[in-house]
């Protein structure tokens, strides 16, 4: 549950979204005595997200750093996910940002860069090559804007993988799909057995998006979306591969591939996972952050070995490398340009010495069951509860020729909102692939 | 922008509460007493409203610089098919909510206005939904309506296991139902108070004249409730305009924008899309529409708030 909440950006669409609507005054008064982002003298402020087990790992990291650096401490404030999104933008816009700004990278970071609110870290990384080389190189893509690095990747990687329920596959005597054709062929097999082929939390919208992310890549290669994201080519969404992918997904919807009523199912309540582990559905495409909840809530589903997982199927005749992966490459920390030189020094010290320390790497693996973005972290997997799973995630992420960041985070927030809205309509079969492409092409490039 | 969203309720409250305040003395003491409210209203109502109007002529993503856009925003928005759609959905939900809530509220209000003890107990029970927060109600209904694990699946009733939040028509129905479920208690309470204000002598006289209960209801109770109906309707209309939290949690405007009301559209544009200019325009439209509706309802209710309703009493 918690893993889910913090690993994604949009997820708590509902529940806590209302928290974001709380007037600013109330939010401000809840920020403790130091005031938001206004760390005391000789301190640098950092805002983090709440939610266990991540919160305690972050806090432990900061405490260890403060103990080792009594003259340059961090003052941390924790915020709930959706409340944070509104708050950090308001704070950055008002010049009240903390020294260290937590971001999801991609389009949101690009907005900060455009507004000249965050520091360029390219030169700092050049003079501290050890810091950069230690981390997954695939994690830096979403931290880079126009060739310059503006944030340091941190914490863990969450690729999107195809989960399946081994029990129901045995029941119908089928094998997990390796190709799109096999996937389509499985739909009538499961439907006949009274099992939904695929679980999907369609109300959350970004869940549907993951299907498109992979289909675009498998059919047309990663260039299709990178061209779209660059925003320089007109009508990039009308690429033949894009239209093909959009058509294929509607074929899957029409064939009854997704569980009946998927538009009513939400991912924030983890109901989509429940559909899979209760055996009501055979497959689910989801982020690796769902593993933790399926393990704790699914009875013996994970511990009994009934959870299967694989990379996304290939598409016959498609151009994309089967190793390409989509998902969340990391979390990111940027330095506010409004901070004082002393505060920036503390932040850089924290980036170099306080992030992903050996102790922290261990905790991510053992306590959270996640894969930190550190090269060679797999040597420690034997200490985790499910080394096979961790190794699968590690290989998927570290060996991916291209690790595409989730679209809604890679695009500008304005484009992402139109995208999610259009995806919902595409899956609801209320617009055609061509209409989808036209709508997206019309979104102003920023 | 969150300030802008807060503009409407105070003005709405003013409008509806404003009936019948004429005729007070105009001494200096009154002006002094009015001052605190006036200052607060200006600071938190009028000034942000001006800010929103100004913002609606600019381009701003919340963090960058605010650049004037002239009438470009307005031109774009007014030709955006999303706007008439959102307006249409807002009015559809407003009208449906009114049609469901008003008759039920009047009936329940009349029922619980009786002095019998069991009616008092029921009145307390009816009141319960009003004590719950909208977000909590929405989350609870979302869980109940889940097609795989909700009420339908739990009780094994196929009828209840629909794609409630996934079919546009059903989703609108669900929103209207949940809104009504939440607010009928409130309006019942208003009607209860109003019914108790009707002089008993009217009913006694009607009984002597041989009028039955139904006849009394239509000939005495309903006409006597005229102003209460207007007050309650104004609250419903203004409430529907600013309706946000419940729909946001329940459907987030979906499926396929079927429940994307204006207030939600404003939030999604402003805080999800970071388009503060267009979001401010919608806020301005909301204020204008709210004012027009409130004024129209007052007009229907007659211009003289002190007119007697007790002719023939």
Provide the 3-class DSSP secondary structure of residue A48.
Answer: strand
CB–CB contact B271 A20 (8 Å): yes
Same domain, yes or no: A105 and A171: no
Q: Is A421 in the B-facing interface, judged by CB distances under 8 Å? A: yes
Q: In B, which residues are within 8 Å of A111 by CB distance?
A: 61, 63-64, 274
Q: Using alpha carbons, select from B262, B264, B269 the residue that is nearest to residue B284.
A: B262
* Mean of pLDDT values over B136-144: 89
Same domain, A317 and A427: yes
Say whether A418 and B273 touch across the interface (CB within 8 A).
yes
Q: How far apart are CA A153 and CA A350, in angstroms?
A: 13
* Domain tally, chain A: 2
**A91 and A65 both lie in a single domain:** yes
Residues A209 and A312 in one domain: yes
Give the residue carrying structure tokens 């005031």: A35
Residue A149 bridge partners (DSSP): A144
- Angle ∠(A269,A272,A274) on CA atoms, nearest 5: 85
Residues A302 and A418 in one domain: yes
Give the C-alpha separation, A247 to A252, whole Å: 9
A390 in a structural domain: no
Strand A281-287 and strand A156-165: the pairing is antiparallel
* Judgement on whether residues A120 and A189 belong to the same structural domain of the protein: no
pLDDT at A95: 80
Per-residue pLDDT, A182:
94
Residue in A98, A6, A122 with CA at minimum distance from that of residue A55: A6
CB pairs under 8 A between A and B: 128
Q: Does A424 touch chain B (CB under 8 A)?
A: yes
pLDDT confidence of residue A71: 84
**pLDDT for position A209:** 95
| Same domain, yes or no: A164 and A151 | no
- Is the CB of B145 less than 8 angstroms away from the CB of A264? yes
Q: Is residue A79 part of a domain?
A: yes
CA distance A374 to chain B (A): 32
The three-state DSSP-derived secondary structure of A278-316 is: CCCEEEEEEECCHHHHHHHHCCCCCCCCCEEEECCCECC
- Chain A positions touching B266 (Cβ under 8 A) are none
Q: What is the mean pLDDT of residues B199-212?
A: 88
The predicted pLDDT at position A8 comes to: 46
Query: Residues B176, B91: contact at Cβ < 8 Å?
Result: no
**Residue from the list A114, A202, A280 with its beta carbon closest to the beta carbon of B64:** A114
What CATH number is attached to the domain comprising A128?
Answer: 3.40.190.10
* pLDDT score at A446: 54
Q: How far is B291 from chain A (nearest CA, A)?
A: 23
Testing the interface with A: which of B5, B45, B252 to mutate, by most A Cβ within 10 A?
B252
> Which tokens is A145 given?
């804007």
Do A179 and A55 lie in one domain? The reply is no
Structural domain boundaries enclosing A432: 160-325+406-441
Q: Does 1.10.3720.10 match the CATH number of domain B2-300?
A: yes
Domain shared by A295 and A255, yes or no: yes
Residue A126 and residue A68 share a domain = yes
Residue A380 lies in a domain: no
Instruction: Give me the pLDDT at residue B309, please.
Output: 56
pLDDT at residue A57, as a whole number: 86
Rounded Cα distance between B182 and B170, Å, is 18
The string of pLDDT tens digits covering residues B170-195 is 899 999 999 999 999 999 999 999 99
- The per-residue pLDDT string of chain A (446 residues; one tens digit each, 9 = 90 and over) reads 344 433 444 433 333 333 333 333 333 333 333 344 455 667 888 888 877 778 888 888 888 888 888 888 888 888 887 778 888 888 888 888 899 999 988 888 988 898 888 999 999 999 999 888 999 888 898 899 888 999 999 989 999 999 999 999 999 999 999 999 999 999 999 999 999 999 999 888 899 999 999 999 999 999 999 899 888 888 999 999 999 999 999 999 999 999 988 988 888 788 899 999 999 999 999 999 888 888 888 889 988 999 999 999 999 999 989 999 999 999 999 999 988 888 898 889 899 888 888 888 888 888 878 899 998 888 888 877 788 999 999 999 888 888 999 998 899 888 888 999 999 999 999 999 999 999 999 887 65
The predicted pLDDT at position B231 comes to: 87
User: So where are chain B's domains?
Assistant: 2-300
Contact flag B142-A14 (C-beta cutoff 8 Å): yes
Q: Which H helix or E strand runs over A421? A: helix A413-427
- A259 CB near a chain B CB, below 8 Å? yes
Q: Are A415 and A427 in contact (CB under 8 A)?
A: no
pLDDT at B167 over 90: no
On chain B, the residues whose CB falls within 8 A of the CB of A421 are 257
Same domain, A212 and A126: no
Q: Residue A21 has what pLDDT?
A: 38
Q: Is residue A282 part of a domain?
A: yes
Is there a single domain that holds both residue A201 and residue A348? Answer: no
Kindly report the number of other CB atoms within 10 A of residue B249's CB atom: 25
Percent of chain B with pLDDT strictly greater than 70? 87
- A21/B255 touch (CB, cutoff 8 Å), yes or no: no
Percent of chain B with pLDDT over 90: 17
* Residue showing tokens 């979302």: B142
């Amino acid at each position: 549950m918690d893993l889910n909440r913090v690993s994604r950006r949009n997820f708590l669409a509902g529940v806590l979204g209302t928290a974001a609507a709380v007037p600013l005054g109330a939010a401000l008064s809840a920020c403790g005595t130091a005031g938001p982002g206004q760390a005391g003298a000789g301190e640098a402020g950092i805002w983090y997200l709440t939610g266990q087990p991540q919160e305690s790992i972050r806090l432990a990291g900061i405490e260890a750093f403060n103990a080792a650096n009594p003259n340059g401490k961090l003052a941390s404030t924790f915020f709930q996910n959706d409340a944070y999104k509104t708050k950090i933008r308001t704070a950055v816009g008002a010049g009240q940002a903390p020294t260290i700004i937590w971001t999801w990278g991609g389009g949101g970071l690009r907005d900060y860069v455009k507004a000249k609110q965050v520091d360029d870290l390219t030169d700092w990384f050049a003079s501290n090559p050890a810091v950069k080389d230690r981390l997954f190189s695939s994690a830096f893509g979403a931290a880079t804007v126009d060739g310059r690095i503006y944030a340091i990747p941190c914490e863990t990687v969450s690729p999107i993988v195809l989960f399946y329920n081994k029990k129901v596959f045995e029941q119908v005597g089928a094998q997990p799909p390796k190709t799109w054709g096999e996937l389509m062929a499985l739909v009538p097999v499961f439907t006949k057995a009274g099992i939904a082929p695929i679980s999907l939390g369609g109300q959350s919208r970004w869940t549907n998006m993951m299907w498109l992310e992979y289909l675009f890549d498998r059919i047309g290669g990663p260039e299709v979306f990178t061209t779209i994201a660059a925003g320089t080519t007109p009508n990039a969404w009308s690429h033949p591969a894009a239209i093909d992918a959009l058509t294929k997904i509607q074929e899957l919807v029409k064939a009854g591939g997704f569980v009946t009523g998927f538009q009513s199912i939400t991912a924030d309540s983890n109901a989509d996972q429940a559909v899979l582990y209760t055996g009501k559905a055979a497959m689910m495409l989801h982020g690796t952050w769902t593993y933790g909840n399926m393990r704790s809530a699914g009875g013996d589903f994970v511990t009994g070995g009934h959870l299967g997982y694989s990379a996304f199927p290939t598409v016959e005749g498609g151009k994309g490398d089967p190793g390409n992966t989509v998902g969340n490459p990391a979390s990111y920390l940027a330095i506010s340009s409004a901070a004082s030189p002393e505060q920036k020094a503390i932040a850089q010290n924290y980036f170099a010495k306080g992030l992903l320390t050996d102790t922290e790497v261990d905790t991510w693996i053992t306590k959270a069951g996640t894969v930190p973005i550190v090269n060679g972290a797999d040597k420690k997997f034997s200490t985790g509860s499910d080394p096979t799973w961790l190794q699968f995630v590690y290989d998927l992420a570290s060996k991916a020729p291209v690790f595409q960041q989730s679209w809604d985070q890679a695009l500008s927030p304005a484009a992402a909102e139109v995208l999610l809205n259009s995806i919902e309509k595409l899956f609801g079969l209320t617009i055609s692939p061509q209409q989808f492409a036209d709508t997206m092409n019309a979104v102003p490039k920023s | 922008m969150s300030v802008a969203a807060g503009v409407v309720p105070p003005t709405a409250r003013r409008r509806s509460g404003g009936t019948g305040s004429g005729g007070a003395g105009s001494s200096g003491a009154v002006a002094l007493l009015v001052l605190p409210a006036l200052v607060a209203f200006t600071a938190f109502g009028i000034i942000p409203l001006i800010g929103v109007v100004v913002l609606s002529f600019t381009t701003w993503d919340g963090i960058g610089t605010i650049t004037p856009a002239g009438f470009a925003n307005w031109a774009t928005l007014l030709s955006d098919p999303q706007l008439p759609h959102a307006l249409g959905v807002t009015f559809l939900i407003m009208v449906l909510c009114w049609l469901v809530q008003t008759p039920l509220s009047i009936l329940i209000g009349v029922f619980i206005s009786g002095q019998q003890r069991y009616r008092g107990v029921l009145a307390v029970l009816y009141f319960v939904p009003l004590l719950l927060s909208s977000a909590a109600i929405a989350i609870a209904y979302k869980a109940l309506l889940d097609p795989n694990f909700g009420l339908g699946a739990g009780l094994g009733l196929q009828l209840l296991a629909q794609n409630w939040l996934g079919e546009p028509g059903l989703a609108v129905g669900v929103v209207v139902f949940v809104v009504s479920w939440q607010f009928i208690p409130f309006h019942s309470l208003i009607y209860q108070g109003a019914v108790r204000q009707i002089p008993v002598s009217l009913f006694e006289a009607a009984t002597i004249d041989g009028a039955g209960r139904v006849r009394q209801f239509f000939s005495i109770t309903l006409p006597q409730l005229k102003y209460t109906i207007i007050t309650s309707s104004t609250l419903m209309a203004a409430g529907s305009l600013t309706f946000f939290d419940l729909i946001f949690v329940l459907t987030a405007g979906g499926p396929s924008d079927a429940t994307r009301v204006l207030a939600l559209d404003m939030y999604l544009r402003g805080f999800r899309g970071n388009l503060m200019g267009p979001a401010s325009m919608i806020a301005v439209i909301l204020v204008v529409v709210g004012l027009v509706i409130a004024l129209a309802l007052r007009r229907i209710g007659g211009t003289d708030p002190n007119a007697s309703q007790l002719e023939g009493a």
